[in-house]
Structure 1
């Protein structure tokens, strides 16, 4: 009976926790009520992709570098099922929940979340989400690469300003696309400590926003920052690589 009551309490708690921080626009951060989960991609933040502007006569002769990538990968398949299963062991939807998008060629998102019951050792909650934004080259706005670069800085600033974030730290993330930043922090929610890692990365004219976080319930230990960050980096590398694969 005690275990059943505990499960009921967890269900109520998680209903409040499963509201993302970052996605998209991010929607693409998270279970926990902040960072992006499913539904980030459509109309999230200022990471608007493929804006169309009619150039003035003086601009019409200006040439810009062509956009490197013409398409986006299928977002829920951009991270392997093996990786999502290891990062979110008991995902409610194994294949991910896609975010709403009116233009999948320019933006898209997907998220996974779940609670792993470890019996007397408590339960572990995890949330993973990823979003993509592709920018076209435009004589008035600049090349797709430049536009993605500008929006990377904006999205990074949004993550760094997460309300209530503690022990926030930003570092360069090597080996992830053309440039990337990793932001780690902690949030106290639903009477538990959540550990977050958000990665903002650019590959050519595509911006990739990824968030991974977790918490321990019913006496379970809080996941370490190292564990969460390593998981986020692994997933981010796969997501970035998927962009190049989709454009072969």
Structure 2
């Protein structure tokens, strides 16, 4: 009888052990679930972050690409054609001794260079000659060569365009000189890119003067030659034709000197030089040439014979 009772107790213990083991397994599994969820959550969050980061990167890239495609491109810096000529010759050396002997026979060594604060932008030289024949009268000559170079500037335009405008103004000033009589203008070939000769008569207290003004442009440089002559104290007045011929010769030589100073052997219009000098062609902006234009000598300037005697 005891044996069945013992068996029952043993069976009861075994059932309890099995229940305990089952409960333990349940608790272990239950405990493992949150861990798995946490791990899964972390993995999910990490993936989300990575995806978000990737998405953000792609979005930023896309946005950048999109904005780059839709936003207007930055406007380029304004540019201007570089000035061809970068230097001027020595103004009192632009004419040969032979030419000076014809233009100012008694004043070949009287050259006086004009004052300037920028020799690369403007220069000038003047000569005077008084051939005194005593009671027979005197022959007076006065010559002035002025050179003005324009530098390219983004606000003013290319040196060439500025020179063209100044060239036209010089001609207009010569044609409208105060007191001018019988003014005539004619184009001159062989003196740079363009040239014009203006002649007129001018009455002064010393006598009747014949005025010749030759304006020539070569690239971004304007050359102006003023030449006048008069017969004084009863001396014969020189002819306009002879004076004009000499003034035009002086203009051509001056243009040639400008070209030579910039590496060209032959003046434009007087041969077949290259259109681009070998000198540097940088387009650094400069205001000196424009300021110099305002200081250019007046066409009506003509010293008296008494002034020539002093010089």
Q: Which TM class, normalised by the smaller chain length?
A: 0.7 to 0.9
Find the counterpart in structure 1 of residue 159 from structure 2.
144
Structure with bigger gyration radius: 2
User: Alpha-carbon deviation of 1:202?
Assistant: 0.4
Residue 66 (structure 1) aligns with: 82
Higher relative contact order (CA 8 A, sep 6+): 1
Distance verdict in 2 for CA 1:99–1:206, change over 3 Å? same
Q: Which residue of 2 aligns with 1:101?
A: 116
Equivalent of 1:202 in 196, 217, 224:
217
| TM-score, with structure 2 as normaliser | 0.59
1:174 aligns with 2:189: yes
1:239 counterpart = 2:254: yes
- Map of 1:75 onto structure 2: 91
Q: Residue 127 of structure 1 aligns with which residue? A: 142
Unaligned runs of 5+ in 1: 1-56
Does the Cα contact within 8 Å between 2:206 and 2:232 map onto a contact in 1? no
97, 101, 105: which one aligns with 1:89: 105
Q: CA deviation at 1:62?
A: 2.4
Deviations 1:85-123 (A, max 9, x none): 2211111x6150011101000001000002102345321
Q: Hey, which bits of structure 1, 4+ residues long, moved more than 6 A? A: none
Q: Contact 1:117–1:123 at 8 Å: present in 2 too?
A: yes
Aligned with 2:246: secondary structure? helix
Give 1:164's aligned residue. 179
Distance 2:77 2:197 in 1: 39
Structure having the higher helix fraction is 2
The superposition leaves residues 28-70 of structure 1 with CA deviations (integer Å, 9 ceiling, x where unpaired) of xxxxxxxxxxxxxxxxxxxxxxxxxxxxx97x72222211101
* TM-aligned CA deviation for residue 200 of structure 1: 1.0
Match of 2:128 among 113, 127, 133: 113
On the 8 A contact 1:85/1:94 being kept in 2, the answer is no
> Structure 2, unaligned stretches of length 5 or more?
1-73, 264-311
Match of 2:118, SS state, is coil
